[in-house]
A and B are shown apart, each in its own frame.
Chain A
Amino acid sequence: MKINFSSYPMVTLAQPTQLSLSELPAGRSAQVVALELDGDESAWLAAFGLFVGQRLTMVRRALAGGPLHVRAASGGEFALARSLAVRVAVIADR
């Protein structure tokens, strides 16, 4: 079936965009909405303050695929490998 895209009107997303924590730019804040981790990993990361509902700020991103420096709203900062961050879904603040 051929769709003529131009016939659809431009839409503004009503839903805020969901992205992975690894994509969050430095300086931006976001809220964790889902974790794709096994039980042990979840328990381990929850202890650092990474759990669903937590608000996070991306402090800095190391070069060349290095770890991410994240601040948790509940207190404390931690370093997180990108391979873990891709499995953390967040909704970025506007």
Chain B
Amino acid sequence: MAEPTPPRPSLAEPAVRSSDSVRSSPVTPTDATALLVALVGRPNAGKSSLFNRLTGGSARVGNFPGITVDVLEAPLALPSGRAARIVDLPGVYSLVASVDPATDEGIAQRFLDDSAAKAGGAVVVVQVLDATQVALGLRLTRELLARSEPLVVVATQADVLVAEGRVLDAHALASALGVEVVLVNARSPEASSPVLAAIARAASAPARATSFDPDALARAVVRDAAPSPRELHRRGFTARVDALLLHPLLGPVLFLALMTALFAGVFLVTEPVSALLDRAKDALAAAATSLLGKGLLASFVADGIVDGAGTVLTFLPQIVILTVTMELLEASGYLARGAFLLDRVFRIAGLGGRAFVPLLTGHACAIPAIQATRILRDPMERLTTILVIPLMSCAARLPVYGLLIAAFFAGASALARAAIFVTLYFSGIVLGLVAAVVLRRSVLRGRSLPLAMELPAYRAPELRVVFASTLRGAGRFVREVGTTILVAALALWVLLTIPMPGAKADGSPLERSLAAGLGRALEPVTEPLGFDWQINVGLIASFGARELMVGTLGVIHGIEDADEDAAPLAARLKDARSADGTRRYGVRTALSLMAFFVLACQCLSTVAAIRRETRSWRWPLFTLGYTYALAWVAAFVVYRGAGLLGLG
């Protein structure tokens, strides 16, 4: 690949902090005196379940190969009383196959290398080995034994093994390997104490085998017997479900139906909750005003802080519900099937089937989606996915779509309005795939790694793990996106309140504000798209966070609480007149603004996330540049095209 090398980002940033005892660790271990216990294992081996069991806390359990994107860390209580920390590394298939350091596998590899170098001997590696796939797990064991750290092998899924009528001779395996081997069911409370005891013993007495053949050893230590009828049924279950869900014709139809139901469900459930949160926000703002009077401080608290923070909260229900659904799909094993179904289509766009997971997540919020690209092993595909995620219609665009549809298409039937909505969504997806094709043939040329992906057996998700993971996701949204929205809302308050130096004394304070001055300065650029300075102020506001567009337009048009009820603002926009009495905005302005909103990356949090994942300013700036250029061109074409069609 002679083309520009993608930036070599990055060890995981500390994406999760301080939720009870669990926190995400900066990848390099910090405390040299405590014993560091690193959980290593193939994806789906039961690693995260064991982590939850040992720490009492919770980590994400994925049934999609390698989706654990955070390196979670927690204190560990060893029976010896020695201070210890445990980290749950992303799933790895191999430590010797070279990978992009930014992917999950790369993160795990680097973590082990760094901790070995820094912590001296104070590291114990715990390999979580799926007892139902011993031969495959032992390949990783062989790689781990070649390293210097003491090793403990925890064979999980003991319950499934029993159901299958098989027996694993843990003693024989332990003596063949020369390390502690513990057989447990990681979901059972009894799993902790034997594992902790083995870790404590291994820390002081490392001893190991030199070499072995994984397949021969697996045959020697696992005794097969006739599977129980229940097990036969279980095996048949995955095959029967797959026959339906992966059916060449039915499979894609069911997939599309499921995704449609998912999104419909997200909207149906979140709508009332968001409205409730919005009302609470307004009550709080009103309380602040009555407490602080009508001065500048009251305005700052009510319009700046409460409004900004409230905006964050109203998006939370959507994020939570989408996260729960994604977690359930992932833990059940269906996401891997989705990747299987979509791989052929995505190849056309130069992406792999697995890219659908981050792209789907992008419809809730780009920030977790960009982080979810770590499941992609191919650096080119990963970067391409990161660059097109901002084109997916995230939750923050919906209020703007809703406002414009209410204002300019109120006369249309419900079906027509729904069609506009769906068109906006699909134009984001289609243009995203087109952008991927173009990127893969220009700046990101290069060979793709072909698909090779585990298809795990279907299994019931562990609800408490899904719950804990959702809690972390919501926390991350509030922290990362929320801070940006809050800061942007405060900056906007300043821009709307402070007068432009040298502004004429006549007109409203708003017309004299810094924001209005900036909006007017942008008019030459936006005039061809049909945007005047008022819309430009809205665009400036939404550069920080799209969420702020509706509220800002409300302020400009003198409507309080436009966030809560867009109807008065919609009417105001529709009836706005220019100085000469002509209507200021028409249907074509609305269409143009929608086109702009679908495509422009108006979100500082996204820019920051791209910067973090690619470890360079080049790609976030590139994203800003190309999405704004694309948005301008699309808005121009739509505005002029609508004009040619005679739309007002």
Contact = CB atoms under 8 A, between A and B. Distances in A.
Whether A and B are associated in the same complex: the answer reads yes
Nearest to A45: B452
B246 A75 contact: no
Contact of A74 (B133, B343, B455, B457): B133
A75 B132 contact: yes
B502 interface: no
Interface string A63-94: 11111010000111111110110000000000
Nearest to A53: B215
B343 A49 contact: no
A10 interface: no
Given A62-B344, A66-B344, A69-B340, A80 B451 contact: yes
Given A62-B248, A81-B450, A76 B136 contact: yes
Contacts of B336: 79
Contacts of A49: 133, 135-136
B343 A81 contact: yes
Given A43-B97, A47-B97, A69-B340, A81 B451 contact: yes
In which size bucket is the chain B interface? 35 or more
Nearest to A49: B136
Contacts of A81: 343, 450-452
B340 A67 contact: yes
A66 B132 contact: no
A53 to B, nearest CB: 7
B139 interface: yes
A60 B246 contact: yes
B154 to A, nearest CB: 18
A81 B448 CA distance: 11
Contacts of B595: none
Given A40-B98, A67-B343, A69-B246, A74 B218 contact: yes
B341 interface: yes
Contacts of A76: 133, 136, 454
Interface centre among A45, A47, A65 (most CB of B within 10 A): A47
Given A59-B242, A74-B135, A67 B353 contact: yes
Contacts of B454: 48, 76-79
Contacts of B472: none
22 contacts: A44-B452, A45-B452, A47-B42, A47-B94, A49-B136, A59-B242, A62-B341, A62-B344, A64-B344, A66-B344, A67-B353, A69-B246, A74-B133, A74-B135, A74-B215, A75-B133, A76-B136, A78-B452, A78-B455, A79-B339, A79-B353, A79-B453
Interface of B: 42, 93-94, 96-98, 132-136, 139-140, 215, 218, 239, 242, 246, 248-249, 336, 339-341, 343-344, 353, 450-457
